[in-house]
Amino acid sequence: MAPTHATLAVEGLKTHFFTKAGVVKAVDGVSFEVGRGEIMGLVGESGSGKTVTGFSIIGLVDPPGRVVEGSILHNGENLVGLDGERMRNLRGNRIAMIFQDPMMTLNPVLRIETQMVEAVLAHSAVSKEDARTMARDALGQVGIASPDERLRAYPHQFSGGMRQRVAIAIALLNKPDLIIADEPTTALDVTIQGQILYEAQKLCRETGTAMIWITHDLAVVAGLADRICVMYAGRIVERGAIGDILERPAHPYTRGLIGSVPSRNTRGGRLFQIPGMTPSLLNLAPGCAFRERCPAADGACAVEPEPSHPLPGRELRCHHPQLEAAP
């Protein structure tokens, strides 16, 4: 897919944090695309840079962090270095974000109605009445019963799952073409998570909204995403279609990650275990960041691996890709 046709095309993105202790390369050369109606899963463990990638796209990286390199093309327009006015125009309008904690989106002392109407009026010249109608429709769209009444409620009167629905409704208000969802179901119960995943899936199908679903949980994106990017220490180590990657993971880290997930096949047995832990991103040594934990690592891994395409539709950063089928 040529980058200009994608809703979002990230190319060589580097976001670094300049702290007193040194430079933290939270995102270090990340490239991917998301097309219309596509759900892209961004998977990684804590500190892999998945959230900072999301924040970089929507322009919410605060000092000492800064996007130092790369481009983020949103419908062909580069978001890196965009002036504040234009970015504010896009944010919440064309690009929306859903956070893990819905209370990050919601103001606890304002009625849902006030917050939603404000979000509409900030971006379009419609009457207050029309804005209210839009708010009500958005609540209905995410499956909130009796939206008229619920508009009058305060955030604390909702349960956790309901709050997350309201946060999603607010993200939908201006019919954005890109939604960045950062672990939106992690804090929710299983049955409620199922409901939210269902709404998200329906939404992308019906409205053609592109979505980036950031999560640490491979199982969540397994049923949801079209393609995934696996992140490790600020880089995308493997990228491809979800089914292909789950069936034939080629990067040793992806393999380890899939093997670590408990499932019915592992009952009673031992789980595959990646030794060690995620490295600190502060003053990370050059070369492949996974080599300390990697079973296949050798001298070649002291050099940073370049992206390669060993399988159709797959991008990989590894000197020793494991191309035979998973054990």
Judged by CB, which is closer to another protein: 219, or 300? 219
Least CB distance to another protein at residue 326 (A):
12
For another protein, the closer of residues 1 and 219 by Cβ is 219
Q: Quick one: which segment of 5-13, 78-86, 170-178, 256-264 binds another protein (CB under 8 A)?
A: 256-264
According to the binding rule CB under 8 A, does residue 308 interact with another protein?
no
Name which of 126 and 192 has its Cβ closer to another protein: 192
Binding another protein (rule: CB under 8 A), the pick from 31, 193, 254, 322 is 193
Residue range at the interface with another protein (CB under 8 A); choices 16-24, 81-89, 172-180, 211-219 = 211-219
Q: How many CB atoms lie within 10 A of CB 166?
A: 25
Bridge partners, residue 15, by sequence: 27, 67
149 scored as a contact of another protein (CB under 8 A): no
- Tally the C-alpha atoms within 13 A of residue 41's C-alpha that lie toward its C-beta: 27
Do 8 and 33 contact (CB within 8 A), yes or no?
Answer: yes
Angle at 146 between CA 140 and CA 151, to 5 degrees: 80
Burial 279-314, CB ≥16 within 10 A → b, else e: bebeebeebbbbbebbebbeeebeeebeeeeeeeeb
Tokens 């275990």 sit on residue: 273
The single residue among 71, 195, 207, 308 that binds another protein, judged by CB under 8 A, is 195
Q: Does 11 bind another protein (CB under 8 A)?
A: no
Comparing CA positions, the residue from 219, 217, 161 lying closest to residue 191 is 161
3-class secondary-structure state, position 235: strand
Residue among 121, 222, 284, 296 that touches another protein (CB under 8 A): 222
Burial class of residue 16 (count of CB atoms within 10 Å of its CB; 0-12, 13-18, 19+): buried
Candidates 4, 46, 127, 146: give the one binding another protein (CB under 8 A). 46
With tokens 């300049």, the residue in question is 18
> Is position 260 an interface residue for another protein (rule: CB under 8 A)?
yes
The H or E element spanning position 218 is helix 218-222
* Identity of the residue, 107 or 266, whose beta carbon is nearer to another protein in the bound complex: 266
The only residue of 274, 289, 294, 318 in contact with another protein, by rule CB under 8 A: 274
Question: By CB under 8 A, is residue 266 in contact with another protein?
Answer: yes
Span interacting with another protein, options 3-11, 26-34, 130-138, 222-230, rule CB under 8 A = 222-230
Instruction: By CB under 8 A, name the one of 63, 146, 264, 327 that touches another protein.
Output: 264
Interface contacts to another protein, rule CB under 8 A: 45-46, 159-162, 189-195, 197-198, 201, 216-220, 222-224, 242-243, 246, 256-268, 270-274, 277-278
